[in-house]
A and B are shown apart, each in its own frame.
Chain A
């Protein structure tokens, strides 16, 4: 049996230990197997990795907050796509013709607003109807995706704005724009969850909802805020990604919810809520991206990534259960 503290430390450190293991494994294995010249832990490679982590990463951060709060959001991929469509399409709207490059902040704002509103719709339904968040967001995942398709059929929505591309591809202090967004979001959410009353109450609600209610915490508004937050972050993720790519397919972002949840669970956030950390989720995101790149690097099919990640997710769940067992005296229910 492990003491409480050791178990806690082990859980918090686990994801970083896993990342280190991955780095060592791919560096060593790559030495023998890799076809490419460069080392795996090459700086450019790592910077690129951070950049590529950003879209899922930003969403996963929001998912952490939602899950700490004791809910789940399956509609993030659809919100991502719809916000992207609004972002790119609004740049071509005739009313903004006179704005020149000033259309960029306007479009960004519109996209972010879209995401926030869609999140608010989810949150309001969960709050007011009392229907489980899983079902509500399962429904809106279909519904929001439907809106995406209704917007432009199966055609991609494209608009490449070179000012925007330059901005997205810029590097500041070596880091790409997308990386800066990811880091800023991580910091902001960490501050929110650890330093603000809203964050602490979100933990309390996910941990023991009855106790929170009895202590006079208003559960509904907190949930609503968190759903708005994850909507906003999904949109932000779209803004970061599509500023550079400039073209959105109506199916983009599907399965993002699953990737985000995987990263959150790898980071050690409890499914039942009440415990978890955005920093660990950041680690989870990096771990997944590292695995993707690493497997490619050592020459295995990129397809294997899905297999490996799925199995790792299950293994983590199994370990977590073993760590939380009460020993032999436990009632075998």
Chain B
């Protein structure tokens, strides 16, 4: 094509807008502060985004299948507390699989309610947010949880060590992202997740077991939450009951920022990673240029609305909504 038509430009903007915005951000901050792109700074940002990121990977599956998961924050608190508690009781080797099993049972329960009983995911996960929070408090008796012998355990490996100069949480996040990205984009299961979210009725009419697919997305989400809990516990070796509080909405923000539609059927693991990194780099960049830490929230707000707005505007072909 010799000439780019206007519509194809808007098309590209709509499709790759988030990548372009990300690039502009990086360039802007890099120009404003030469520390921004320094290796240790970049690694630091990714490392501190890893826990949020790991959770966002799982929620991506849930959102693509057309549902929501607001319970990941309190579920993460749960898994953190559980693994810390079991660490001293069973030893780290047994504590980790036990924690994964317990967390994934919760995920399976949510998946059962939303998938098989077809209950509204917003309310179910809202209820589970509260219920799991209560469960955690009951489990811990309301007290903070600490590992007794912080020096003598290898448990800190996941959150605290480096391999070849790269922090383990980053490796963990990267490997999980690659695996889940393959699962979503290359396997029949992934295809079915998109179909269920894109048009659940048509998926059923094509013989796809919708309930089971939805169920599995919640199991995956809870698996990721368990991973995040592991990273969190390993990094801090002690935790409050509310360590994950509020993360559910930040996670959702990252997934939406990555371009997944809440209607389901669109989004990718890669884009979610970009969404997570944008949140991380905004926070870091704003700090580096000397702005208040909390400005990041306001900036995130503006970016989320703009991202979704432009996406919708490109699809409907006009900027403002036609609602009278």
Inside 8 A of A51's CB, which chain B residues have their CB? none
C-alpha spacing A69/B254, complex, angstroms: 28
C-alpha spacing A120/B70, complex, angstroms: 26
A129-B305, A143-B300, A271-B122 are known contacts. Are A219 and B130 too (CB-CB below 8 A)?
Answer: no
Within the complex, the shortest CB–CB distance from A206 to chain B, in Å, comes to 14
Query: Chain A 296-333, CB within 8 Å of chain B: the 1/0 string?
Result: 00000101111111111110011001000000000011
Inside 8 A of A129's CB, which chain B residues have their CB? 305, 309, 312-313, 320-321
Interface size on B, as a range, is: 35 or more
B134 and A150 contacting across the interface, CB-CB below 8 Å: no
Interface status of A156 (Cβ within 8 A of chain B): no
Interface status of B21 (Cβ within 8 A of chain A): no
A74 and B249 contacting across the interface, CB-CB below 8 Å: yes
Inside 8 A of A218's CB, which chain B residues have their CB? 324
Query: What residue in chain B is nearest A300 (Cβ atoms)?
Result: B138
Interface status of B124 (Cβ within 8 A of chain A): yes
Inside 8 A of A142's CB, which chain B residues have their CB? 249-250, 253, 297-298, 300-301, 304
Inside 8 A of A139's CB, which chain B residues have their CB? 253, 300-302, 304-305
Within the complex, the shortest CB–CB distance from A143 to chain B, in Å, comes to 3
A128-B321, A150-B298, A317-B124 are known contacts. Are A134 and B129 too (CB-CB below 8 A)?
Answer: no
Interface status of B192 (Cβ within 8 A of chain A): no
What DSSP secondary structure best describes chain A's contact surface?
helix
C-alpha spacing A144/B249, complex, angstroms: 14
Query: What residue in chain A is nearest B109 (Cβ atoms)?
Result: A314
Inside 8 A of A314's CB, which chain B residues have their CB? 113, 119, 123-124, 127-128, 131
Interface status of A113 (Cβ within 8 A of chain B): no
A313 and B295 contacting across the interface, CB-CB below 8 Å: no
A305 and B134 contacting across the interface, CB-CB below 8 Å: yes
C-alpha spacing A333/B124, complex, angstroms: 20
A318 and B117 contacting across the interface, CB-CB below 8 Å: yes
C-alpha spacing A237/B302, complex, angstroms: 26
C-alpha spacing A301/B241, complex, angstroms: 15
Chain B residues proximal to chain A, CB less than 8 Å: 70, 113, 117-120, 122-124, 126-135, 137-138, 141-142, 200-201, 204, 210, 245-246, 249-250, 252-253, 256, 262, 292-298, 300-302, 304-305, 308-309, 312-313, 316, 320-324
Given pairs A130-B321, A135-B308, A139-B253, 12 additional interface contacts (CB within 8 A)? A128-B320, A130-B322, A142-B253, A142-B301, A146-B295, A255-B246, A308-B134, A309-B131, A310-B130, A310-B134, A314-B119, A318-B119
Ordered by A's residue number, 18 sampled pairs between the chains whose C-beta atoms are within 8 Å are: A74-B249, A127-B321, A128-B321, A129-B320, A130-B321, A135-B256, A135-B304, A135-B305, A141-B249, A142-B250, A145-B297, A146-B295, A146-B301, A220-B323, A220-B324, A271-B123, A303-B137, A306-B137
